[in-house]
């Protein structure tokens, strides 16, 4: 990699939570990757060195929609590790994560191979958002999901599948995890804070910080990181616009279609949301009217929402 020295000491460091930067950081440094895996799986025997199976980053991956740049690695026993830095929460998040973890397992075998050749598939997802927001989950940020029995959770079906999740911001607030994992969380959350980084005496994190400085000084890496960030920003903007348009158009059309099938209760709730968005807070009499309305009446009101000048016009008797 051709590296140019920064012009001054105030150089802005690349964000390791940018999934392109994350992959560059760890896919090209197996020892750091090994240290991160061991920190997440601190209750397991430590790994030696892992081999990265997908070090290449194709140009189309930087601008592709709904793509997460992952790191796929394998240890000396053949166990597969899929690491992802996830900066946005997909609508079908759990389904997508389970699908790719299952692929990490099944891709080990060709047709006719013995199932006994399968080695565990272990997912490690670092989340730049809070996945579990219920009050009872606010004191936990490090999660490990496995195939266990509902009534006898101590009984695990096997080692084949495991998904580790780290909610980074929450973990940082709580100081969650063993010291090594806490150091990695601090690095990913505070990489630009020199005073904070100086307090971390965990060598792998200091080495990662040096790699970030080197990557940040490389003009081509900075350009590609910007390309990736722009693609993610555009994706978020498109999703936001689609949601807004859906409230104005898609929801109203969906209401009419759903109401025709007799799904009155759920569609009344959606109509209430649409009315609030167009006309502001609703009075108790309006809410009661929605709750008691017949499906045909709700359908009529839903069709009027987009064009009605005020709330009264929606419910006007013609």
Instruction: DSSP for 143-169, please give it.
Output: EEEE-B-SS-TT-BS-SSEEEEEEEHH
Confidence of residue 244 (pLDDT cuts 50, 70, 90): low
Catalogue the long-range contacts made by 281-285 (C-beta closer than 8 Å, 24 or more residues apart): 282/311
| Phi, psi (degrees; rounded to nearest 5) at 124 | -130, 110
| Phi, psi (degrees; rounded to nearest 5) at 142 | -115, 120
Q: Which of 62-71, 80-89, 157-166, 277-286 has the lowest mean pLDDT?
A: 62-71
| Residue 268 confidence (pLDDT) above 60 | yes
197-210 residue pLDDT tens: 999 999 999 999 99
What pLDDT score does 6 carry? 44
On whether the pTM is more than 0.85, the answer is: no
101-110 residue pLDDT tens: 999 999 888 8
| Residue 171 confidence (pLDDT) above 60 | yes
| Residue 94 confidence (pLDDT) above 50 | yes
What pLDDT score does 168 carry? 96
Tokens 């999740």: give the residue: 165
DSSP 218-284: -HHHHHHHHHHHHHHHHHHHHHHHHHHHIIIIIHHHHHHHHHHTT-HHHHHHHHHHHHHHHH-S--H
Picking from 307, 296, 310, 239, the residue whose alpha carbon sits closest to that of residue 267 is 296
Q: What percent of the chain has pLDDT over 70?
A: 84
Say if residues 50 and 60 touch (Cβ distance below 8 Å).
no
Confidence of residue 315 (pLDDT cuts 50, 70, 90): confident
| Phi, psi (degrees; rounded to nearest 5) at 5 | -70, 145
Confidence of residue 58 (pLDDT cuts 50, 70, 90): confident
**H helix or E strand, kind and range, residue 8:** none
Say if residues 174 and 185 touch (Cβ distance below 8 Å).
no
Residue 189 and residue 172: Cα distance in Å, rounded?
7
> Residues for the chain: how many in total?
318
């Amino acid at each position: 990699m051709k590296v140019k020295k920064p012009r001054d000491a105030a150089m802005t460091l690349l964000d390791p939570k940018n999934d392109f930067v994350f992959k560059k950081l760890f896919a090209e440094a197996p020892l750091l990757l090994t240290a991160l895996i061991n920190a997440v799986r601190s209750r397991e025997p430590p790994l030696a060195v892992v081999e990265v199976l997908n070090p290449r980053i194709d140009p189309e991956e930087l601008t592709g929609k709904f793509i997460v740049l992952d790191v796929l690695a394998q240890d000396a026993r053949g166990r597969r590790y899929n690491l992802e830095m996830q900066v946005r929460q997909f609508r079908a998040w759990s389904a997508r994560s389970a699908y790719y973890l299952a692929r990490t397992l099944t891709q080990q075998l060709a047709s006719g191979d013995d199932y006994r050749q399968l080695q565990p598939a272990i997912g490690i997802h670092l989340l730049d958002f809070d996945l579990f927001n219920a009050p009872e989950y606010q004191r936990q940020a490090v999660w490990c999901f496995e195939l266990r029995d509902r009534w006898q959770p101590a009984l695990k079906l096997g080692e084949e599948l495991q998904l580790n999740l780290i909610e980074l911001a929450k973990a940082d607030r709580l100081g969650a995890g063993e010291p090594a994992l806490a150091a990695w969380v601090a690095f990913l959350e505070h990489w630009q804070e020199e005073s904070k980084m100086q307090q971390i005496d965990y060598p792998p994190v200091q080495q990662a910080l040096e790699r970030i400085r080197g990557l940040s000084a490389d003009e081509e890496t900075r350009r590609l990181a910007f390309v990736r960030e722009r693609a993610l920003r555009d994706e978020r903007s498109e999703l936001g616009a689609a949601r807004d348009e859906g409230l104005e158009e898609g929801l109203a059309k969906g209401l009419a279609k759903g109401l025709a099938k007799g799904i009155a209760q759920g569609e009344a709730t959606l109509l209430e949301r649409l009315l609030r968005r167009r006309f502001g807070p609703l009075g108790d009499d309006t809410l009661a009217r929605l709750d008691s309305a017949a499906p045909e009446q709700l359908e009529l009101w839903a069709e009027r929402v987009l064009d009605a000048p005020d709330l009264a016009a929606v419910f006007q008797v013609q």
